[in-house]
Structure 1
Amino acid sequence: MLFTGITRTFSTENEQQYETIGAFWAEMENKYDCTRLRGLGYNWTLGTIEYVIGLTDGYAEGSDCTVILPDEGWTEVRGRTENLGHIYDGIYKDGALSYEIETFDPDGNCRILYSRSPEGYKRICRATEKDLDEILKLQYLAYQSEAALFGTDDIPPLKQTIEEVAEEYRRGTILKMVTKDGRIIGSVRAHAQNGTAYIGKLMVHPDYRGCGLGSTLLSEIERYCSGLRYELFTSTRSTDNIRLYRNAGYEIFDQRAVDDKLVFVYLEKNKPI
């Protein structure tokens, strides 16, 4: 799974004295060398989100580690790394947890994202045939911003039919990102051919953009297609998309003009050696 290295744990005295996680963090930095807030788990028995404090850069799969339950007055308990995820870079900001955190469900099938509020819950897993109509409606909405770049709705994502989406579903993988109430707010798809995973239709609902969900969907479809070379394309006018892909390790290797207005840029990411 996500974990490497060896777990070390610590004990604290008088956890109740810390009024905020910022104060707790500051005390831990003073008390322990190189302390880092490293991850969380979802306790499926208690139904609570557990913050994980560690002194190393990772956790050994299957090992014990210390977790702290803020809702239980900073009570120290023991957890198992099978149900722990990692915290994104930058989650600890100005003494407060202000970004999203990820873990997996007990079977490891779905990536689950949390924020501090209940509505921050999001889950990524495979779409089913029943989801395709909702995903296509999301596609029509999400690609309006792309159409605006060209001043026309005459772009392929806005002309795709449900039959074409169903064919992509049959020959590849379509992932969905859903909220706690079951709404699909993101999706991505891919199919593998001759050692390459061709990734496309990466989309996030306009109301949920700007918080890293596109990058999360991209990394998750890569996980489903692990061990392959990755390839995708976008319009040369889609500078935000190009920046997202390059930040994820993709490099431009080709450009192809469809007409005098539409030019596609192709990016690739080679499989790890």
Structure 2
Amino acid sequence: MKFMVTSRGDDVSNTLQQRIKRYLLDFGLSYDDEKPEMVITVGGDGTLLQAFHDYSDRLEDTAFVGIHTGHLGFYADWVPDEVEKLVIHIAKTPYQIVEYPLLEVVIRQEGMANSERHLALNECTIKSIGGSLVSTIDIKGEPFEVFRGDGLCVSTPSGSTAYNKALGGAILHPSLASIQIAEMASINNRVYRTVGSPLVLPQHHTCLLKPLNDVDIQVTVDHYTLEHRRIKSLQCRVAEEKVRFARFRPFPFWKRVRESFIRE
């Protein structure tokens, strides 16, 4: 099997990265950072998020597994003391593939014929650069509301515990093929009115955002910031592609939620 190991860049993560690489090479596996079948990340959720984008063109052929060297992560579920155990699993044990849905974002700019397509593992946000964002929201081709406020966040189920949760969005199990729309400080009065609650859309529903006011727009896709002077529309839906995680043991989602947000 071909593998690669990526690190967050700190001393602890770099040391573990080299140990894992050496161990797996000793087991006869091949190191290949161009077309790996498995990507092992050492660091945290941000490290795995970066690896996902680095290999987003190989999602059907690449599985991810994460080791966290900081706080407990939602994607990185192994700890440094378990490195030897994980290496033996990778080298000797058949593993289960768990697939989670992704968010497809299509951006169309004013005056440009071609559109941009992005994949998000966590979320996409749209904000104005100075002033409020005013945008129509169409769902499944039908007008739903006109939003006015700081911005909007569209998240995946696996990303629902990130920025979405901070905005008051629901926590969704990552196996659900859906996307969630959460508002950022919406303006609600006698003139402007939104539903005021997060919206969960199923796989076959598309959300289309069309900014109405003459402002510069900033779009983020996970940890990447994309600045656009004028956006004609931003389309979000569940992507056809999925992210694949290698599982060697049970990794209960609700246990992770409890340990991350409730357990002292």
Higher relative contact order (CA 8 A, sep 6+): 2
TM-score norm. by structure 2 comes to 0.29
Q: TM-score, normalised by structure 1?
A: 0.28
